[in-house]
């Protein structure tokens, strides 16, 4: 099958590659329609590895996807050919202890698209378990459907925070995941969310959303902004979505006594942590690794209009322009949030 193949670091080709397209009784075949380029895709393209995950042989990229069901396995009763779906890309061992405990995203045996050595979905067709494919309502486009995967990360963070109505949140980092986390916090009940970054272009995009208050930390103080909103009390929930070691250093100062800090971004190396400052406020800490049980919620929020991701789609390329799309995304332009590739006929 023709696919976008990462041959080696900084070398992409659109070429034929052998992929396993065998359908089991619980699988469906899907014609891929839209794929978003994720930061992890770019990291594999530019560096060839993320931590212990190393690209050692040619690998198809892409894991944020939507498409149309073209065939169903003999045991599938929930989907039919013609259904428009988005796909949750991580396939766990459903018999594992993690899956039985309901935390299937933490199953060590999970096979996640475009995580070495597993091929991704930047190809015309994929085969995927039906129970990890979620129908898209008619008013949700394929491009929005491909946004469900990164939105699920933000929703996982909001779920972990246990937000209650009227709370104030802070999100550190205004990239794709940061903005989606902020929108998820608003949808979960936050009255206002401060979102910080050093790139004014990204903050301008975030500032278009009612309820988001952008703060450029290169020019202003995030703690002062939070104190002004909360009467000096602090934020009920703080989400670290940048991965910047500098952000980790100041996140406890932003939190209110008894608040929660949710770690979403992954720093490139170990970071120092002020235990005494966290203890003095009895802060609760939560961690996010992908997501579990939130894809239907993400679809529902898009369908209802409570979360609108359309302003975050910066540019769309055709499948034939896939290499160009990655080169564009790798420029890391400050005015770009999400680059997508369309495989629609």
Please give the average per-residue pLDDT across 54-68, as a whole number.
97
Q: Is 24 helix (H, G, I), strand (E, B) or coil?
A: coil
pLDDT band at 288 (very low <50, low <70, confident <90, very high): very high
- The separation between the first and the last C-alpha atoms of the chain, rounded to the nearest angstrom, is 16
What mean pLDDT is reported for the chain? Answer: 97
Q: What is the pLDDT of residue 26?
A: 98
Distance CA 117, CA 113 (A): 9
Tell me how long the chain is: 345
Q: Delimit the domains of the chain by residue range.
A: 2-147+309-342, 154-287
Q: How many CA atoms lie within 13 A of 323 on its CB side?
A: 11
3 state DSSP class of 331: coil
pTM for this predicted structure: 0.97
The pairing of strands 125-129 and 27-36 is: antiparallel
pLDDT at res. 112: 98
Superfamily of domain 2-147+309-342 in CATH is Medium-chain alcohol dehydrogenases, catalytic domain (3.90.180.10)
- Mean pLDDT across 34-43: 97
Quick one: pLDDT at residue 292?
98
- Cα–Cα distance between 279 and 308 in angstroms, integer? 37
pLDDT tens digits, one per residue of 101-147:
999 999 999 999 999 999 999 999 999 999 999 999 999 999 999 99
Q: Which of 241, 90, 47 is nearest to 157 (CA)?
A: 241
**What are 148's two structure tokens?**
């469900």
Residues 6+ apart with CB under 8 A from 193: 168, 169, 170, 171, 182, 185, 186, 211, 212, 213
Using pLDDT thresholds of 50, 70 and 90, give the confidence band for residue 34.
Answer: very high
| Structure tokens, 61 | 């990229």
pLDDT tens digits, 9-20: 999 999 999 999
**154-287 shares the fold of 2-147+309-342:** no
pLDDT of residue 43: 95
CATH topology of domain 154-287: Rossmann fold (3.40.50)
Per-residue confidence at 51, pLDDT binned at 50, 70, 90?
Answer: confident
Instruction: Tell whether the model's pLDDT for residue 242 goes beyond 90.
Output: yes
Q: What is the pLDDT of residue 249?
A: 87
DSSP class of 154: H
Q: List the one residue out of 143, 160, 156, 185 whose CA is nearest residue 311.
A: 143
Q: Is 196 exposed, middle or buried (0-12, 13-18, 19+ CB in 10 A)?
A: buried
* Dihedral, 339, 105, 291, 328 alpha carbons, nearest 10: -10
With pLDDT > 70 as the criterion, what percentage of the chain qualifies? Answer: 100
Structure confidence by residue, pLDDT tens digits, 69-103: 999 999 999 999 999 999 999 999 999 999 999 99
- Give mean pLDDT, residues 310-329: 98
| CA dist., res. 244 & res. 255, Å (int) | 18
pLDDT of residue 56: 96
In the block, tokens 């250093």 appear at: 249
């Amino acid at each position: 099958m023709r696919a976008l193949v990462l041959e080696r670091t900084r070398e992409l080709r659109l070429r034929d590659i052998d992929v396993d397209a065998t359908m089991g009784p619980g699988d469906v075949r899907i014609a891929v329609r839209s794929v978003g380029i994720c930061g992890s895709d770019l990291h594999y393209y530019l560096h060839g590895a993320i931590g212990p995950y190393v690209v050692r042989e040619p690998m198809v990229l892409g894991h944020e996807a939507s498409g149309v069901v073209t065939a169903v396995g003999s045991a599938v009763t929930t989907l039919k050919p013609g259904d428009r779906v988005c796909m949750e890309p991580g396939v766990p061992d459903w018999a594992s202890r993690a899956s039985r405990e309901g935390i299937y995203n933490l199953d060590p045996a999970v096979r996640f698209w475009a995580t070495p050595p597993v091929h991704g979905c930047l190809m015309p067709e994929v085969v995927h378990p039906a129970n990890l494919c979620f129908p898209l309502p008619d008013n949700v486009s394929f491009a929005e459907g491909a946004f469900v995967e990164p939105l699920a990360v933000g929703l996982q963070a909001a779920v972990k925070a246990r937000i209650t109505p009227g709370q104030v949140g802070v999100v550190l980092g205004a990239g794709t995941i940061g903005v989606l986390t902020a929108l998820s916090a608003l949808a979960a009940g936050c009255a206002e969310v401060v979102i910080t970054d050093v790139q004014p272009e990204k903050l301008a995009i975030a500032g278009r959303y009612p309820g988001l208050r952008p703060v450029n930390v290169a020019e202003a103080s995030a703690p002062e902004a939070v104190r002004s909103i909360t009467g000096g009390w602090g934020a009920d929930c703080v989400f670290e979505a940048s991965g910047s070691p500098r952000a980790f250093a100041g996140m406890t100062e932003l939190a209110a006594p008894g608040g929660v800090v949710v770690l979403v971004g992954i720093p490139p190396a170990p970071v120092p942590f002020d235990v005494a400052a966290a203890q003095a406020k009895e802060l609760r800490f939560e961690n996010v690794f992908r997501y579990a049980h939130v894809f239907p919620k993400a679809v529902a929020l898009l369908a209802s209009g409570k979360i609108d991701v359309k302003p975050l789609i910066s540019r769309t390329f055709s499948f034939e322009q896939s290499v160009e799309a990655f080169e564009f995304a790798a420029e890391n332009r400050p005015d770009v949030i999400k680059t997508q590739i369309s495989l629609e006929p």
